[in-house]
Amino acid sequence: MKYSPADLAIIKQRISDWRWRFSHLYWINPAEHGVPECVFQPKPEQWEILEAIYDRGEVRLGILKARQLGFSTLLAIICLDMILFRAGFVCGIVDQTKEDAEKKMDKVIFAWERLPDDIRESYEIVTQNKSELTIRRPKRSGSTVYAGKNARGGTHQLLWISEWGPIQFDDSKRSDDIADGALPSAEKGIVVVETTWKGGKTGRLYTEVVEPALKLAASVRTKADWKVYFFGWWLEPGYRFDGDARQISIECSDYLQALQDTHGIILDEAQKLWYFKTAWPKRQKRYEEYPSHLAEIFLSPVEGAVYASFMDRAQVDGRVIDFPVSREPFYTFWDLGKRDLMSITFIQIVGLQVRVYDCHLERGATLAACARYVQSWEQKHDAFIAGNFLPHDGGWERLGKEYNKSIAESLAECGLRNIYVVPRIPKLAIGLDYVRDRLPNMVFHSSNLGRVFEFGTHRVSFLDSMSNYRFAPIDKNSSSREPLHDINSHACDSVRTYAEADERGMVPKSAGLREIDEREYETSGSVSNFDFDF
């Protein structure tokens, strides 16, 4: 791009000032339709990131954000700025798809090609294509910015990881590659993670970046420690509608008032109307695209989720809360596993409410350990467990060297009483519908069910599982659209045990358990019920 001699004189005088460069030198192509290309002018939230890197020298930044706040544009220009003024500098961009990575390189190339001709002509272009720009000054080492699905080998002075939030949920292997391969390559450089979210408080981005950063007190944080920056939808000046805000629904109005009362987020009428018209209709997906505060980002929905909309409704209705133990009896509902996870969910029936109070997840536990856990839980909570419900395979005989016993029989020998086996249903989809029918009457204990269980690099809570339990993608399972059997399925399967038992009338509405007619099991083709109330 041609500049006048006077302009070039100013550029030469000011070019060493990074603040000047970022508001006068680089051109962008705005995302807004019909807005022509222009000189980049950072917004306040973009200045915050620039100052973190250029002024404060922070080298580990996690940017969690709403959509379309301009951080991809900012980081693309930072990459260009770094290779222009640092010899031998390598910037790597890791993104969710090849196409997404190339779009970020487009932003780099766009700004590069609109630099003053005198500046560009002082560099030799070594490589310029859709995925790489390598340039060098005479007698100096070349500098590179490249983009792709994975980080290249070697050392990075700047590593920009985009959309690690969705990656860690959709592709755990790639997430491991980022954590174990890409991050170490920038051990002495700058790492910026810029992402939306998916899948609750799980995955290595949360466990190894976000959670440690949130737990670390500001008074002891160093430049080398991770720092999380959150930017909500309301920071975007364009997110506003002119109109009559009286059309906003009572539910949405209550939510917006809670933002002010609880989080200090004060919105004007135009912002409120925009949120009601644009974000609110998306229901749970608004947490992914337009989160208002940091906690909301971890409620982001999952494609193909089985129960997410019901859990969203529970949040809106105020049914995810802490509540005390009632005088009514408890019932446990199990999902069985040995090498897999074992899940035990504790439920009370109080009037028309199904109160899901607690859940325990364990891997590799013996049946004796599970029985002891239930018994100790009963004592700890001064509760009475009136029934322990196993899924249909709890009645199957297991072949051993010295005995042939079912899980139900083995648990009974461990001292567990009031054991019931729920008959098998013809199709899994029927059981899922049974759960959906009962979810509107369920109340969930926020603290107990939000407790996180760790299994190696995997983490899961009951509430996360209920929101993240999802159908297999059609392209990966074309013959059967059933839910994925993964870390989220176990807690959900124990809830399905409850729903199937309740559908058969096995879960009483009063304190006493009724006897189950064995003919019911014979008809279903399952084993007989076990009643070990000695």
Give me the tens of pLDDT residue by residue for the chain, a chain 534 residues long. Answer: 778 888 888 988 999 999 999 999 999 998 777 789 999 999 999 999 999 999 999 999 999 999 889 999 999 999 999 999 999 999 999 999 999 999 999 999 999 999 999 999 999 999 999 999 999 999 999 999 999 999 998 999 999 999 999 998 888 889 999 999 999 999 999 999 999 988 777 788 988 999 899 999 999 999 889 999 999 999 999 999 999 999 999 999 999 999 999 999 999 999 999 999 999 998 878 988 999 999 998 877 677 889 988 998 898 889 999 999 999 999 999 998 756 789 999 999 999 999 999 999 999 888 899 999 999 999 999 999 999 999 988 766 554 444 568 888 889 999 999 999 999 999 999 999 999 999 999 999 999 999 989 887 778 899 989 988 988 876 554 455 688 888 899 999 999 999 999 999 999 875 444 333 333 333 333 333 333 232
Tokens at 85, concatenated: 């003024």
Residue 529 lies in a domain: no
The pTM of the full predicted model, rounded to 2 decimals, is 0.73
d(CA 296, CA 169): 17
What is the reported pLDDT for 526? 34
Looking at the structure of the chain, the number of domains it has is 3
Q: Which amino acid is at 239?
A: Y
Residues 442 and 295 in one domain: no
Contact 386, 329 (CB under 8 A): yes
Tokens at 409, concatenated: 């029989």
What is the reported pLDDT for 530? 33
Residue 271 lies in a domain: yes
Domain that holds residue 436: 320-524
Tokens at 432, concatenated: 């899922």
Residues 177 and 109 in one domain: yes
Contact 160, 93 (CB under 8 A): yes
Residue 11 lies in a domain: yes
Residues 339 and 224 in one domain: no
CATH number of the domain at 456, please: 3.30.420.240
* Residue 420 three-state SS: strand
Of 301, 331, 357, which closes a domain?
301
Residues 386 and 445 in one domain: yes
Residues 6+ apart with CB under 8 A from 361: 341, 342, 343, 453, 460, 462, 490, 491
Of 181, 204, 231, which closes a domain?
231
Residues 111 and 201 in one domain: yes
Residue 313 lies in a domain: no
Instruction: Write the secondary structure of 125-182 as one string of H (helix), E (strand) and C (coil).
Output: EEEECCCEEEEECCCCCCEEEEEECCCCCCCCCEEEEECHHHHHHHCHHHHHHHHHHH
d(CA 223, CA 188): 12
d(CA 517, CA 531): 11
Residues 276 and 182 in one domain: no
Q: Which amino acid is at 45?
A: E
Residues 287 and 401 in one domain: no
Contact 91, 83 (CB under 8 A): yes
d(CA 25, CA 440): 56
Residues 221 and 242 in one domain: no
What is the reported pLDDT for 45? 96
What is the reported pLDDT for 523? 33
What is the reported pLDDT for 395? 61
Residue 108 lies in a domain: yes
Residues 109 and 40 in one domain: yes
Residues 216 and 279 in one domain: no
What is the reported pLDDT for 377? 97
Residues 285 and 420 in one domain: no
What is the reported pLDDT for 485? 87
CATH number of the domain at 122, please: 3.40.50.300
What is the reported pLDDT for 339? 64
Contact 124, 153 (CB under 8 A): no
Residue 342 lies in a domain: yes
DSSP element (H, E) containing 113: helix 98-113
The DSSP letter of residue 273 is H
Count Cα atoms within 13 angstroms, Cβ side, for 80: 28
Of 212, 231, 250, which closes a domain?
231
Residue 451 lies in a domain: yes
d(CA 454, CA 86): 42
Strands (E), 394-441: 397-399, 404-406, 419-421
* Residue 434 three-state SS: helix
Contact 353, 441 (CB under 8 A): yes
Residues 140 and 216 in one domain: yes
Angstrom CA distances, 149 to 25, 175, 209, stand at: 29, 11, 20
Residue 530 lies in a domain: no
The DSSP letter of residue 470 is B
Contact 530, 421 (CB under 8 A): yes
Q: Which amino acid is at 226?
A: W
